[in-house]
Structure 1
């Protein structure tokens, strides 16, 4: 047990700037290339629905289940008041969750807790698995958790760093693409029950204003992540020269 804790909590040295830039490029390709996005978007959906679920529980709502579908959509079922702050926060948490999760991951990487980041991802996957209510959802979460475990347990520090930095970049960049997709659907009149439109019915803000809020949160997460990674690289370069 102590060996496991030491392994998980160990502080690892920052990777070179070339790794940070390379992982950014990989994440951009994964998000922007339509073929790759079709597959990796499941990870964003897991974070999206996990955000709904976590906020619902924190707001005192009863979480009844989560479904993930092969078209990369998802649904989170909760029970409680159909109005009020709890409902608003639960709805708002979906589109902001991937970006905020990525920014939190960047903060952990800034402290050198690379393996801890991977194991926290495994823990979140396990907690979410309990609430999944369909086969495809179970399969998606199991694959995600399995990949995280394999990297954290078998990969060396170099590959762990490459995976973790790519994952964080992917979450903060991939977190805003669904926002643009949502607005495109709204313009075509195809998203009348979207999170933004449900929020518009519960608050004074319009659906378009909520889309803007989602986008600003996502852009802020990207800026924060870039800033943290810049500090990591600068710290590493300074230590090398000293």
Structure 2
């Protein structure tokens, strides 16, 4: 009982804000892995997991039947659900993908601003474990299991300062990494390489042009980046007062 109580306190208790250097350093590191192509090819897998998780969760919440999720080594992904091919449920499911990494980062920023570092990490573990059940290809399983193992190892064995650095980096990565795929999406659309993209599916469902949805994704993710960043940096500036 004592161990269970300690675990509960550890999960729900607040942790002190990390040093300012960690907050800034993790932001710079996130930008460094999102910017260059070589590091982006690796870090983009995290964004893809969140992207496909957003499709899957929204499909379930709107009453669609989730068939499975696939994650591919080229950082693309596919979520298949069954239900009406048109209507609000399908629109919401198509809309969720590009916005989910940014919204997940924003939720993480809210938790970090309140000192809930361990809770943020364990919430991520729960979501990843639930997602793992619906993965339908080998690379996807390896990708999600590896992510779970890394997050668990940090949250269970690492020092408090290391946990804080990892959590802040993960949130910055989601916030910053949510923007670049939208730029890549429009570049592919211009070249005619993405006829079945989320933006084009939304165009067929709503009769609004695909560029409208690309702009919507971009504005939403950039606004979320600024909002989430202000929460993280606001916590830092409070430490200066």
The normalised TM-score by structure 2 is 0.97
Cα deviations by residue, 1:66-118 (Å, 9 ceiling, x for unpaired): 01111111100100000001000000000111011001100000110000000
In the alignment, structure 1 residue 27 sits paired with structure 2 residue 30: yes
Aligned-residue CA RMSD (Å): 0.8
Aligned to 2:117: 114
Aligned to 1:161: 164
- How many aligned residue pairs are there? 238
Cα distance in 2 for partners of 1:225, 1:15 equals: 17
Cα distance in 1 for partners of 2:119, 2:23 equals: 19
Cα distance in 2 for partners of 1:204, 1:13 equals: 49
Q: 2:62 aligns with which of 59, 64, 69?
A: 59
Mapping of residues 47-196 of structure 1, within 5 Å: 47-196=50-199
Deviation larger for 35-44 or 114-123: 35-44
Cα distance in 2 for partners of 1:215, 1:136 equals: 29
5+ residue gaps in structure 2?
Answer: none
Mapping of residues 37-52 of structure 1, within 5 Å: 37-52=40-55
5+ residue gaps in structure 1?
Answer: none
Cα distance in 1 for partners of 2:43, 2:132 equals: 18
Cα deviations by residue, 1:185-241 (Å, 9 ceiling, x for unpaired): 000011110000000001132100100010011111111112111221133233xxx
Cα distance in 1 for partners of 2:237, 2:51 equals: 32
Aligned to 1:202: 205
Mapping of residues 212-227 of structure 1, within 5 Å: 212-227=215-230
Structure 1 segments (4+ residues) deviating >2 Å: 234-238
Cα distance in 1 for partners of 2:234, 2:76 equals: 36
Cα distance in 1 for partners of 2:159, 2:224 equals: 28
Cα distance in 1 for partners of 2:158, 2:76 equals: 31
The normalised TM-score by structure 1 is 0.96
Aligned to 1:229: 232
Cα distance in 1 for partners of 2:107, 2:57 equals: 15
Cα deviations by residue, 1:150-195 (Å, 9 ceiling, x for unpaired): 0000111111111111110100110111100000000001111000
Cα deviations by residue, 1:42-78 (Å, 9 ceiling, x for unpaired): 1111000000000000000000100111111110010
